[in-house]
Structure 1
Amino acid sequence: MSAEGGRSRPVLARTTRSGHGLERRDVAAVELMDDPACDAEGLTSTYRAFVVVNRLVAGWRAVYVRHVRPLLSTGRTTTLLDVGSGGGDVARSLARWAARDGLRLEITGIDPDPRAVAHARAQPATRGVTFRQVLSSDLVAEGASFDVVVSNHVLHHLDDAQLAGLLSDSEALARRRVIHNDIARGRLAYAGYWVGTLPLHRRGRPHAPFVRDDGLLSIRRSYRRDELAAVLPTGWRAATLPFRVLAVCEVPGA
């Protein structure tokens, strides 16, 4: 970090503060909330902070309008699966938007982490939204299916084998469309997030949320569009929104 005009700013010409450049994915970076032994109060604070952070930067309103709402109906209930639903804020937002538009949508959020599911279930109930502690592969084994399968900020957490498994499970579970929404790695995204989350700096703040630290790591781990396109199987495409990259699959015969 260097100072200019008396103000601190991140140096992004070649490297992040960790010394790892943004030219390639930093797959070795490990996020705090992925540690089963992480500070429980800090994790709870993180889930709460995600409500605001996802609203501001995750682009779900645009995803809903472009990719989800056209599939919904006033006369037929559409089912949607949110994989890796975390604290449940994305699922609740989608349900509220659909209800506001007079459209029928039922959402199941799944997460393997019992802490995430417990937090999601502890929030005020949203009509049409339920949460389960299961893996996508468990649902495939059950023979479950949904009209739409989505995820938020899941892809960058996965290694090659896990990514292939998620994409395969998604195709097996979705009857109409899959949309996996994630961060697009880039210098502008990193700089903007670095500055925008300064109030959430954890130093000297016990039980502070992990949003700043983990968010910067997430950007370093994330794909660019060409990188994501290169690892997607036949039938998938990489799409973009501002600062976002999406893996989209239209189910044949839908």
Structure 2
Amino acid sequence: MDDPHCDPAALANTYRSFDLVNRVVSGWQQVYRRDLRPHLRRAGGGTLLDVGCGGGDVARHLARWAARDGLTLRVTAIDADARAIAFARAQPPVPGVTYRQAMSGDLRAAGRQFDFVISNHLLHHLSGPELTALLADTQALCARVAVHGDIERHPLAYAAFRVATAWTFRGSFIHVDGLRSVRRSFTHAELARVAPPGWQARRQFPFRNLLTWEAGRA
């Protein structure tokens, strides 16, 4: 799906399927309850940056969960790929969520700041220097808590995803690109080794890596 010349219909189906895949495996509702909601309740609301938002499903869910709890969360969802932003903007709007084609460095250069910075399934796409740059941008952009969530590379994770998606998500890149993503992801030990000072590598079920940072604890 990173190929700029890939089938646009299959790409749209992939973005559409992310909603189900992320609800099953990504664990953002748990992250919201444990890492984000306590801060939102103390402050009465907040702002969040979603880096590499893809089809925007995680951003929309976070805003909905906050609204359900009587909290205001204003979400800026960014992606470098214009196709992702076009798809996200075409979805039914969710109050408080906006989409922008940009990279984290663009917002840092503009002097922007957010209470929370997150990403989902982004880390395994990055080279070493790109990861370093993302985390530096994150610290400059984030006033409270940052959570970068990704897959934990594990043989069982690969086997389970292979079986679960072998005959589903037809007409999309979910099966092939998902298996490639598992292979490219960090083990927990690898992520802990590359985490800069002030960052913490955490595990979350099932087969999730969280790279977290909190202002004041760094």
TM-score range, shorter chain: over 0.9
CA contact (8 A) 1:74 1:103 kept: no
Q: Please say if 1:251 is aligned against 2:210.
A: no
Radius of gyration: which is bigger? 1
- Tell me the distance in 2 between the aligned counterparts of 1:246 and 1:154: 11
- Tell me the distance in 1 between the aligned counterparts of 2:83 and 2:20: 20
Unpaired stretches in structure 1, ≥5 consecutive residues: 1-32, 203-207
Counting only pairs closer than 5 Å after superposition, residues 202-221 of structure 1 correspond to structure 2 as: 208-221=171-184
SS of the residue aligned with 1:143? coil
The residue aligned with 1:171 is: 139
Question: 130, 144, 147: which one pairs with 2:98?
Answer: 130
- Tell me the distance in 2 between the aligned counterparts of 1:234 and 1:187: 29
Aligned AA (1:136): S
Unpaired stretches in structure 2, ≥5 consecutive residues: none
Q: Please say if 1:121 is aligned against 2:83.
A: no
Aligned AA (1:60): W
- Tell me the distance in 2 between the aligned counterparts of 1:222 and 1:130: 29
CA contact (8 A) 1:200 1:209 kept: no
Question: 142, 162, 178: which one pairs with 2:130?
Answer: 162
TM-score normalised per structure 1: 0.83
Per the alignment, do residues 198 and 213 of structure 1 end up closer, same or farther by CA in structure 2, a change over 3 Å counting?
A: same
Ranges of 4+ aligned residues in structure 1 off by more than 6 Å? none
The residue aligned with 1:50 is: 18
Aligned AA (1:35): D
Deviation of 1:153 (Å): 0.1
Deviation readout 1:13-69 (Å, 9 max, x if unpaired): xxxxxxxxxxxxxxxxxxxx1111111111001000111111111111111111111
The residue aligned with 2:36 is: 68
- Tell me the distance in 2 between the aligned counterparts of 1:126 and 1:183: 27
Deviation of 1:201 (Å): 6.5
Counting only pairs closer than 5 Å after superposition, residues 1-254 of structure 1 correspond to structure 2 as: 33-73=1-41, 76-200=44-168, 208-242=171-205, 243-252=207-216
- Tell me the distance in 2 between the aligned counterparts of 1:247 and 1:75: 24
SS of the residue aligned with 1:252? coil
- Tell me the distance in 2 between the aligned counterparts of 1:247 and 1:76: 25
CA contact (8 A) 1:73 1:104 kept: no
- Tell me the distance in 2 between the aligned counterparts of 1:187 and 1:175: 37
Deviation of 1:75 (Å): 6.1
CA RMSD in angstroms, aligned pairs only: 1.4
Per the alignment, do residues 117 and 201 of structure 1 end up closer, same or farther by CA in structure 2, a change over 3 Å counting?
A: closer
SS of the residue aligned with 1:144? coil
CA contact (8 A) 1:75 1:104 kept: no
- Tell me the distance in 2 between the aligned counterparts of 1:108 and 1:76: 18
- Tell me the distance in 1 between the aligned counterparts of 2:112 and 2:65: 25
- Tell me the distance in 2 between the aligned counterparts of 1:74 and 1:131: 26
Deviation readout 1:111-139 (Å, 9 max, x if unpaired): 01000000000000001100000110000
- Tell me the distance in 1 between the aligned counterparts of 2:20 and 2:217: 37
Aligned residues: 217
Deviation of 1:252 (Å): 2.2
Q: Which has the higher helix share?
A: 2
SS of the residue aligned with 2:203? strand
